[in-house]
Amino acid sequence: MNEDRKRILDMLAEGKITSDQAEMLIDSLGAPAEPVPAPAPSPSAGWPSGPSAGGTPKFMYVKVRSSGKDTVDVKIPLALLRAGLKLTSLIPPQAMEQINESMAASGMSIDFNNLKPEDIEEVIESLREMEVNIVSTDGDNVRVFCA
């Protein structure tokens, strides 16, 4: 990753810029970026296409369509996972122990002390195949996917 991209992602992780601003800055670098597949409309339900067929997903999408005409359309950059992992190095050891104990007590046995960047990359790669579709009896639809 070149230094400019890293600085942009660091600014995003620090909350200095929004994900849209980070995306615009990365696009403006002019470096050959990996194309982000644009969600294509689905002819039957008006939904964008689902999980990407190849490549590493860049975004998680949360789409909600309600029969009451409410609409939610969220695009979350998966770079936030990478940034979050970097931030865990700033947590004091005693606090990290409490976090791990609390997570274990809640049934989530994740040891953040042993989490490595390659683990996050594996999670992000696996998200390419993740898709959640919920259709309620009153016509509300929820869709979560990565592309």
Query: Could you report the per-residue pLDDT of 28-80, keeping only the tens digit for each?
Result: 775 444 444 444 334 334 444 555 556 788 888 999 888 777 788 899 898 88
Same domain, 85 and 140: yes
Same domain, 91 and 136: yes
Same domain, 66 and 7: no
Query: Could you report the per-residue pLDDT of 88-115, keeping only the tens digit for each?
Result: 878 888 888 888 888 889 888 777 777 7
Q: How many distinct structural domains can be found in the chain? A: 2
Q: Taking a C-beta distance cutoff of 8 angstroms, is the pair 44, 118 a contact?
A: no
Same domain, 43 and 106: yes
pLDDT on residue 43: 33
Same domain, 65 and 122: yes
Show the domain range for 114. 36-146
Query: Could you report the per-residue pLDDT of 119-143, keeping only the tens digit for each?
Result: 888 888 888 888 888 888 887 888 8
Same domain, 71 and 45: yes
Report the predicted TM-score, pTM, of the whole model to 2 decimal places: 0.52
Cα gap 83→13, rounded to integer Å: 5
Same domain, 27 and 42: no
Cα gap 138→147, rounded to integer Å: 28
